[in-house]
Amino acid sequence: LPPAKPLPAYAAWKNPAALVVHSGTTIETRRSAFGSSVITPAQQLYIRNNLPAPDASILDKRDEWTLEVSGVKQPRSLSLAELKTLGLETVATVLQCSGNGRGFFPSKPSGTPWTVGAAGCVLWSGVPVRTVVAALGGLAEGAVFLTGTGGEKLPEGVDPLSVVVERSVPIKALEDCLLAWEMNGEPLSLAHGGPLRLIVPGYQGVNNIKYIKRLSFDASESKAKIMAHGYRMTPPGAQTSPDQASVWEMNVKSWINGPAADAGPVKAGRVQIHGVAFAGTKAIERVEVSVDGGDSWHTARLVGPDLGRFAWRQFALSVQLPAGTYQLASRAVDTAGNVQPADRVENAHGYNNNSWRDHAVKLVVA
Ligand code: MSS
């Protein structure tokens, strides 16, 4: 094994034992570190930055951070202090990188080869975007997309649209969106987008804009490269193009976290198989578990608190396993009847992998 890379300075407070550091901007939670409770502690939550993280000084005067809002009847800038007076809600969401599961694509798409750890379930506190829109007189005519812009300082001498982290989502997401300043009960860290972050519950990670500086409601999608050409379901071998589906709502997905394959063999006898399941904007209806690679399935128990349809549900199945080698798999079904598929949708950049087969794990019982 190559020596583990150290955590970058802005994430030095994280738990190195729980993480795989792919690079200074891509850090993954170990499968065995998810544990068996519902909320992912900040110290072990994954990180993905498309640009270098901003200077930590942006957190010096959190309340003075400003957000410019346009595409409303009374467009203007609001300070974080003012946003805090407008409203308060807490929502639990799954934050997952669109490329989570890329590591299972045999085609080895370029990008971080995440397995399951570019995801977590966290609590966000902030003001609902709809409350902010109402305070600014409501939406202007013709808004079809909600667009968030990241507050990173852009490199000089390049077209800003080629680097800015700016993403648009369909306006229907407005109902659920939050401008968050707190995560898991603590002021939002720089690593996760402090002082202010856009949360789009049920949507892939890239749409959840950190250090948000601008929020707009427009008739068309952002022309930024990350929107027009990035994060699209590009067919294998094809060029990216704005007419391909964008990675927006997450699909139905589950995986097993324990017994952890990386923790060595387990003792023959009673075994608790457990994991997590989620389905974007839909709630989980049922999870099935297989110990024979998908030949037969058993309905698992949904356990732990139900933190709402945007959070993940824990599941557990108690089984009696004699010595042997088992292929453990899980398959989730959401309340709209969508069933987690056996196979991934092949695509050039390795997005949206929810194949139950790819996420199966080998368990040795001795
Ligand atoms: N935001 C900003 N501003 N910047 C960047 O870079 N990234 C993305 C999101 N947001 C960014 C942002 C991504 S891409 C992701 S995943 C996320 O974020 C992550 O988060 P965390 O907190 O974990 O780090 Mo893929 O789809």
pLDDT in tens, 35-75: 999 999 999 999 999 999 999 999 999 999 999 999 999 99
How many Å lie between the centroid of ligand 1 and the Cα of residue 261?
A: 28
Bridge-partner residues for 225, per DSSP?
none
Q: Closest residue (by CA) to atom 25 of ligand 1? A: 97
- Percent pLDDT > 90 in the chain is 96
- Whether the CB of 114 sits within 6 Å of ligand 1: no
- Whether the CB of 209 sits within 6 Å of ligand 1: yes
Q: Tell me if ipTM is over 0.95.
A: yes
| Contact (Cβ atoms closer than 8 angstroms) between residue 124 and residue 180 | yes
> Is it the case that residue 253 has pLDDT exceeding 90?
yes
pLDDT in tens, 313-351: 999 999 999 999 999 999 999 999 999 999 999 999 999
Give the β-pairing of 119-128 and 178-183. Answer: antiparallel
Confidence (pLDDT) at 139: 98
| Full-model pTM | 0.98
9: which 2 tokens? Answer: 């300075």
- Whether the CB of 11 sits within 6 Å of ligand 1: no
* CB-neighbour burial class of residue 152 (10 A; exposed 0-12, middle 13-18, buried 19+): buried
How many Å lie between the centroid of ligand 1 and the Cα of residue 150?
A: 9
How many Å lie between the centroid of ligand 1 and the Cα of residue 240?
A: 20
- Whether the CB of 206 sits within 6 Å of ligand 1: yes
Confidence (pLDDT) at 4: 81
Confidence (pLDDT) at 1: 59
- Whether the CB of 95 sits within 6 Å of ligand 1: yes
How many Å lie between the centroid of ligand 1 and the Cα of residue 167?
A: 11
How many Å lie between the centroid of ligand 1 and the Cα of residue 202?
A: 14
The Cα 182–Cα 2 span in angstroms is: 36
- Whether the CB of 165 sits within 6 Å of ligand 1: yes
Task: Please give the average per-residue pLDDT across 121-148, as a whole number.
Answer: 98
- Whether the CB of 192 sits within 6 Å of ligand 1: yes
How many Å lie between the centroid of ligand 1 and the Cα of residue 67?
A: 18
The Cα 339–Cα 334 span in angstroms is: 7
Task: Please give the average per-residue pLDDT across 126-143, as a whole number.
Answer: 98
> Is it the case that residue 265 has pLDDT exceeding 90?
no
Per the prediction, the chain carries an average pLDDT of 97
Please, which residues have CB within 8 angstroms of residue 43's CB and are 6 or more apart in sequence?
13, 14, 15, 18
Query: Shortest CA distance to 132 belongs to which of 61, 65, 82, 172?
Result: 82
